[in-house]
A = this chain, B = another copy of it.
Amino acid sequence: MFIQLDSNQWNLVYNVFSLGLISMLATTVYTLVSQPRVLAKYRTALVMSSMVTFIAGYHYLRIFDSFKHASEGGKVLLDGSQDAFNEAYRYVDWLLTVPLLLVEVIAVLALAKEVSRSLIMRLVPASAAMIALGYPGEISSDQNTQVLYGVLSTLPFIYILYVLFVELGKSLDRQPAGVAETIGRLRLLLIATWGVYPIAYIFNIVGDQTASSFVTVQVGYTIADILAKCVFGLTILKIAKMKSVAEGMKDDH
């Protein structure tokens, strides 16, 4: 199985992958060198964000190379063979980065130890279950299997929404001015960009894979990743700086 892209489509995907790669690497360096600008207690959140973009940068390098290697004259091999485009890099990436992103949100709030622990112990297994349950549906070519695993992986996703919006909401009142709103926006960013993944998944179930659906899904995933990892990480840095200033660190911007 392969799809034939025209040269504009092929170049668009290729350049968007390159954009994803350097966005991840640049954000990694930026957040790493910004560590001394926040109080020590917020550096765990920041270094986790650096790891998320570092891991995603590695995967975009692999995706970029895999796409180039699997293509010839705009024809992209998608048959799961050794020379095919390896979509599974995204699953390996999510398996590592999605739990880290959730832990980051908790870590930057610097809540009481028991509260943090309880939230993390619920969010991390739920996010791992969400991704693990999506994978069998992604690799299956049977529509019933795809729908079954699509529904199954939606259950932990709903639970994550509940924990983030109901449970976490209770802790936001005690945050300094401005922080609660920024956390609120961060939560919306997470949910809005994560929405791209089930949409792409449904796209794969209902439609035959055409050149334009392939391009839409790949470009959509990459933009979602830049928002959910780079913009997200820079927002974490902003929150960490606001909280550091609120707690007496000199505001030097």
- Of A47-55, A118-126, A174-182, A194-202, the one contacting chain B is A47-55
**Count, chain A residues at interface, CB 8 A:** 55
Contacts of A71 in B (CB 8 A): 82
What does the 1/0 interface line of A1-42 toward B look like (CB < 8 Å)?
000000110110011001101110110011011110101110
How far in angstroms is the closest Cβ of chain B from A92?
5
Inter-subunit contact A88/B11 (CB<8 Å): yes
A-B contact pairs, 18 of them (CB 8 A): A7-B82, A8-B80, A10-B82, A14-B86, A15-B88, A19-B96, A21-B58, A22-B59, A25-B54, A25-B58, A26-B54, A29-B54, A30-B47, A33-B35, A39-B252, A41-B252, A41-B253, A73-B81
Closest to A30 in B: B51
Whole-angstrom distance between the alpha carbons of A33 and B32 in the complex? 8
How far in angstroms is the closest Cβ of chain B from A251?
9
5 additional A-B pairs beyond A15-B89, A22-B58, A29-B51, beta carbons within 8 Å, are A11-B88, A29-B54, A37-B40, A37-B43, A72-B82
Known: A37-B40, A74-B82, A89-B18. A110 touches B26 (CB 8 A): no
The answer, yes or no, to whether A231 is at the interface (CB within 8 Å) is no
The answer, yes or no, to whether A139 is at the interface (CB within 8 Å) is yes
Q: Which residues of A contact B (CB under 8 A)?
A: 7-8, 10-11, 14-15, 18-19, 21-23, 25-26, 29-30, 32-35, 37, 39-41, 43-44, 47, 50-51, 54-55, 58-59, 62, 68, 71-74, 79-82, 86, 88-89, 91-92, 95-96, 107, 110, 139, 250, 252-253
